[in-house]
């Protein structure tokens, strides 16, 4: 079904995110016929680019990922208009409004506007204030704002940014992006949990021993040293993606799949995350940075990184949720850059089953939710070894989703742009979720000067301290 027509105003059109994710995502919507034929995109950038050069940039970013017919590509790039401006200049905006009005009058976008902020994060408040001051031409058209993460640097900055936003936008016009929510397997978590009699009754401290979440990346900081050095893994990955995963895994069943019903339950559990104090942070939080290894340079030698930087490129921690369902169940999370693997997965480890008379080599049931690169669900359970024996062995049921469906699984940004155009807020974060996650991160940041910074060689499996964090509880990071 075709989405409503709109003018998409893309701030940061010459940046990395646009090239790597947004053009391919919009192209996928164009190719599948979902992007309305009247939808147009106004790309805003500071560089002095000709229209033809802009179109070629877009086309080459699409060609990078797949071979596509040139006429299809042409009809896609025809939707784009480049607009050069310095978005920090207040006086530049009236001309922009003029151009938008012109495009709207000439085209048939019905006055709908979807703004996308993909600029450097420190420009978000300034640009959104400008946009917010501008009402649509047509009364019954929509005005929506998609904002990339990070939403603030800590609770205080996030709160003041939010207040500014709310003074010019309604909450339901604000689409705060956490692109992990657009990933297929994250959308699957609620169905897996609440749609299966097998799992839902066992999804609590009675039956679950612990949960592990790992998002490990082989890449370094690439072109984003300025942003990354101010963020580090805690702010860049934990505040957003990893805590969203925790929320989806531990929330109670919502009354419905309506956006606010789901988000209410997420907030409820996020508020039950036990904040850290000086003692628990020292015991349960690991921060580390990569040094030289596997012929790759150290973080501090990366371009744009200060030589004495203390920013963490890796973090692991043990979390607790103080509610009836999860009391006493540790949640171990870890994420980092320049590691020896590329994987995103969740492992639910169930309690050991005591069954008298069995041999004692039995293992716990585990459920692995694979987020990337493979997408799927992998369940391990015990069976009798075939033959004249009572020995037990583990059997495996593996539902590999992208093995069966291949590239048919939409990419995260394709799904998010689709939902924003159709007005579905389910996969976007609400302010109170952001507030709860920054509260937890701030509890670590407030004592971080007292925490050691560990080191690990680039291309390794991460710091030994992360192994100790889990092995002291007689558990290990499972490589399933
Ligand atoms: C981004 C972070 O939000 O997510 C990056 O800023 C990180 O540092 C990226 O590399 C990971 O996303 P994905 O989809 O590649 O797992």
Judge if the beta carbon of residue 236 lies within 6 A of ligand 1. Answer: yes
CA-nearest residue for atom 14, ligand 1, is 180
Backbone angles phi, psi at 458, to 5 degrees: -55, 140
Q: Which of 172-176, 358-362, 440-444 has the lowest mean pLDDT?
A: 358-362
Judge if the beta carbon of residue 217 lies within 6 A of ligand 1. Answer: yes
Peptide linkage before 373 cis (omega within 30 of 0): yes
Give the residue, 435 or 407, on which the prediction is more confident.
435
pLDDT at 409 over 70: no
Q: In what order do the strands lie in the sheet with 113-117?
A: 80-84, 40-45, 7-11, 113-117, 143-147, 174-176
pLDDT at 406 over 90: no
How far apart CA 230 and CA 335 sit, in angstroms, is 17
Reported as type and span, the H/E element at residue 454 is strand 453-457
Following DSSP, what letter does each residue of 156-213 receive, concatenated?
Answer: HHHHHHHHHHHHHS-GGGEEE--GGGGSHHHHHHHHHHHS-TTTGGG-STTTEEEEEE
pLDDT at 220 over 70: yes
Question: Among 30, 179, 241, 418, which one carries the catalytic annotation?
Answer: 241
Mark whether 138 is an active-site residue: no
- How much distance in Å is there from the Cα of 238 to the middle of ligand 1? 11
pLDDT at 407 over 70: no
The pLDDT of residue 97 is 95
pTM: 0.95
Of the candidates 142, 112, 117, the residue with the CA atom closest to the CA atom of residue 6: 112
Q: What tokens does 65 get?
A: 């990922």
CA-nearest residue for atom 8, ligand 1, is 236
Q: To test the ligand 1 pocket, which listed residue (180, 213, 299) has its Cβ within 8 A of the most ligand atoms?
A: 180
Residue 103, C-beta contacts closer than 8 angstroms, at least 6 positions apart: 7, 40, 42, 81, 109
Judge if the beta carbon of residue 433 lies within 6 A of ligand 1. Answer: no
Reported as type and span, the H/E element at residue 437 is helix 431-445
- How much distance in Å is there from the Cα of 395 to the middle of ligand 1? 33
pLDDT-derived band at 400, boundaries 50, 70, 90: confident
- How much distance in Å is there from the Cα of 201 to the middle of ligand 1? 33
The pLDDT of residue 372 is 93
pLDDT at 381 over 80: yes
């Amino acid at each position: 079904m075709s989405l409503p027509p709109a003018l998409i105003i893309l701030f940061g059109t010459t940046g990395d995110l646009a090239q790597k994710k947004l053009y391919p995502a919009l192209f996928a919507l164009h190719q599948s016929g979902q992007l309305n034929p009247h939808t147009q995109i106004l790309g805003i950038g500071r560089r002095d680019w000709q229209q033809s050069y802009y179109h070629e940039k877009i086309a080459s970013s699409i060609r990078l990922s797949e071979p596509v017919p040139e006429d299809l590509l042409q009809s896609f790039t025809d939707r784009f208009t480049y607009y050069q401006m310095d978005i920090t200049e207040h006086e530049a905006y009236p001309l922009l409004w003029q151009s938008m009005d012109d495009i709207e009058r000439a085209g048939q976008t019905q006055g709908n506007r979807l703004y996308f902020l993909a600029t450097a994060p420190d420009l978000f408040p300034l640009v959104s204030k400008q946009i917010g001051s501008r009402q649509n031409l047509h009364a019954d058209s929509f005005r929506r704002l998609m904002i990339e993460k990070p939403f603030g640097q800590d609770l205080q900055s996030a709160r003041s940014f939010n207040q500014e936003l709310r003074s010019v936008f309604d909450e339901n016009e604000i689409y705060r992006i956490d692109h992990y929510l657009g990933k297929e397997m994250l959308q699957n978590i609620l169905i897996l949990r609440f749609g299966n009699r097998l799992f839902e009754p066992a999804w609590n401290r009675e039956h679950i021993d612990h949960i592990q979440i790992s998002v490990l990346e082989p890449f370094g900081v690439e072109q984003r040293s300025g942003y990354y050095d101010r963020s580090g893994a805690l702010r860049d990955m934990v505040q957003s993606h990893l805590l969203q995963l925790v929320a989806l895994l531990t929330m109670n069943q919502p009354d419905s799949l309506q956006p606010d019903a789901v988000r209410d339950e997420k907030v409820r559990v996020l508020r039950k995350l036990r904040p850290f104090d000086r003692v628990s942070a020292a015991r349960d939080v690991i921060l580390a940075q990569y040094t030289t290894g596997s012929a790759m340079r150290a973080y501090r030698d990366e371009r744009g990184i200060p030589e004495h930087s203390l920013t963490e490129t890796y973090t692991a921690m043990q979390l607790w949720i103080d509610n009836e369902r999860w009391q006493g169940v540790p949640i171990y999370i870890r994420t980092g850059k320049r590691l020896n693997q590329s994987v995103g997965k969740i492992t639910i480890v169930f309690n050991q089953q005591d069954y008298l008379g069995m041999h004692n080599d039995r293992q716990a049931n585990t459920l692995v939710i694979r987020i990337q690169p493979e997408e799927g669900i992998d369940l391990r359970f015990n069976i009798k070894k075939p033959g004249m024996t009572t020995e037990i062995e583990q059997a495996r049921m593996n539902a590999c989703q992208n093995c069966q469906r291949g590239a048919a699984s939409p990419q995260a940004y394709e799904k998010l742009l689709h939902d924003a155009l159709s007005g579905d807020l389910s996969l976007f974060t609400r302010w109170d979720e952001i507030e709860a996650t920054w509260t937890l991160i701030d509890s670590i940041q407030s004592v971080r000067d007292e925490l050691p910074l560990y080191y690990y060689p680039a291309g390794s499996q991460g710091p030994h301290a992360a192994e100790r964090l889990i092995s002291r509880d007689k558990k290990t990071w499972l490589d399933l």
